[in-house]
Chain A
Amino acid sequence: MTTKLDQVQVQNAAAFRGRRFVGFVKGLFRRPASALGTIIFVLFALTAFFGPWLAPFEANEIIYEEARLAPSAGHWFGTDHLGRDVFSRVILGARDIFMLAGLGTLLSVLIGTFLGLISGYYGGWFDEILMRLFDSVMSIPALLFALLMLGTLGPSRESVLWVLVIVYPPIVARVVRSVVLGEKQKSYIASARTQGEKTSFILFRQLLPAVYPALAVEAALRFSYAIFLTASLGFLGVGVQPPNPDWGLMVNEARRTYTQVPWALYFPAGVIALIVIGVNLMADGLKQALRGEE
Chain B
Amino acid sequence: MFPKNKFTLVAFALLTLSALIIAGCSSDYAAIANQNSADQVVQEDQVGGVILRVANHPIVQTDPALISSDSEVFVANAVYDYLVDVDARSNLVPRLATEWSVSEDGLVYTFTLAENVSFHDGSPFSAADVVWSFDRLRDPELGFASSSLYSNIVSIEAAGESSVVFTLESPNPFFLYDLSDNHALMIKNGTTDAGDFNGTGPFTVVEYNPEDRIILQANPEYFIAGQPLLDGVEIIFFPDDIAMIDALRGGQVDLVMRMSTALFESLQTEDGIETVAIPTNGFDLIRLRSDREPGNNPLVIEAFKRATDRQAILGLVHQGFGAVGNDSPIGPLYDSYHDASVSPASRDVEAAKALLADAGYPDGIELTLHVPDSGSRPDLAVVLQQQWAEANIFVEISVEPESVYYGENGWLEVDLGITGWGSRPYPQFYLDVMLVSGAEWNEAHFADAEFDALAQIAGSTLDEAERIAAYSQIQQLLVERGPVIIPYYFAQFGAINTAFAGFELKAFPGRTDLRTIFQP
A219 to B224, CA, bound (A): 72
A241 to B398, CA, bound (A): 7
Known A-B contacts A260-B265, A276-B13; the reply to A142 vs B1 at CB < 8 A is yes
CB distance from B395 to the nearest CB of A (A): 10
A-contact 0/1 string along B293-325, CB 8 Å cutoff: 000000000000000000010011100000000
Known A-B contacts A255-B242, A258-B266, A269-B20; the reply to A64 vs B312 at CB < 8 A is yes
Q: Is the CB of A85 closer than 8 A to any CB of chain B?
A: no
Query: Are B17 and A265 within 8 A (Cβ)?
Result: no
Query: Are B20 and A260 within 8 A (Cβ)?
Result: no
Query: Are A62 and B386 within 8 A (Cβ)?
Result: yes
CB-contact partner of B17 in A60, A273, A281, A284, under 8 A: A273
- Among residues of A, the one whose C-beta sits closest to the C-beta of B379 is A82
Query: Are B9 and A143 within 8 A (Cβ)?
Result: no
Q: Is the CB of A41 closer than 8 A to any CB of chain B?
A: no
Query: Are A241 and B20 within 8 A (Cβ)?
Result: no
CB-contact partner of B316 in A64, A229, A260, under 8 A: A64
Q: What is the total of A-B residue contacts with beta carbons within 8 Å? A: 101
A141 to B382, CA, bound (A): 33
Query: Are B9 and A256 within 8 A (Cβ)?
Result: no
Query: Are A237 and B17 within 8 A (Cβ)?
Result: no
Known A-B contacts A241-B398, A256-B242; the reply to A143 vs B2 at CB < 8 A is yes
Q: Is the CB of B465 closer than 8 A to any CB of chain A?
A: no
A221, A225, A237, A258: residue with the most chain B Cβ atoms closer than 10 Å = A258
Residues of A within 8 A of B317 (CB): 82
Query: Are B312 and A81 within 8 A (Cβ)?
Result: no
Known A-B contacts A60-B386, A81-B379, A141-B2; the reply to A273 vs B13 at CB < 8 A is yes
CB-contact partner of A266 in B20, B242, B316, B373, under 8 A: B20
Residues of B within 8 A of A259 (CB): 265-266, 269
Q: Is the CB of A242 closer than 8 A to any CB of chain B?
A: yes
A269 to B16, CA, bound (A): 9
Q: Is the CB of B225 closer than 8 A to any CB of chain A?
A: no
Known A-B contacts A60-B385, A82-B382; the reply to A256 vs B263 at CB < 8 A is yes
CB distance from A58 to the nearest CB of B (A): 9
A-contact 0/1 string along B371-391, CB 8 Å cutoff: 001000011011101100000
B-contact 0/1 string along A270-281, CB 8 Å cutoff: 101100110011
Residues of B within 8 A of A251 (CB): 20
- Among residues of A, the one whose C-beta sits closest to the C-beta of B17 is A273
Query: Are B316 and A280 within 8 A (Cβ)?
Result: no
Residues of A within 8 A of B1 (CB): 141-144
CB distance from A140 to the nearest CB of B (A): 9
Q: Is the CB of B154 closer than 8 A to any CB of chain A?
A: no
CB-contact partner of A142 in B2, B260, B383, under 8 A: B2
Known A-B contacts A241-B398, A259-B265, A276-B9; the reply to A269 vs B386 at CB < 8 A is no
Q: Is the CB of B399 closer than 8 A to any CB of chain A?
A: yes
Q: Is the CB of B24 closer than 8 A to any CB of chain A?
A: yes
Residues of A within 8 A of B2 (CB): 141-143, 225, 228-229
The 3 tightest CB contacts between A and B, nearest first, are A141-B1, A259-B266, A273-B17
What would 12 more interface pairs be, CB under 8 Å, given A243-B381, A260-B265? A60-B385, A62-B386, A64-B315, A67-B315, A81-B316, A144-B1, A241-B398, A241-B399, A259-B266, A262-B24, A266-B20, A276-B10
Question: What are 26 A-to-B residue pairs whose CB atoms are below 8 Å?
Answer: A60-B385, A61-B386, A64-B315, A81-B316, A82-B316, A228-B13, A229-B2, A241-B399, A242-B399, A243-B381, A243-B382, A251-B20, A253-B378, A258-B24, A259-B269, A260-B266, A265-B20, A266-B20, A266-B24, A273-B14, A276-B9, A276-B10, A276-B13, A280-B9, A280-B10, A281-B10
A residues touching B (Cβ–Cβ < 8 Å)? Answer: 60-62, 64, 67, 81-83, 141-144, 221, 224-225, 228-229, 237, 241-243, 251, 253, 255-260, 262, 265-266, 269-270, 272-273, 276-277, 280-281, 283-284
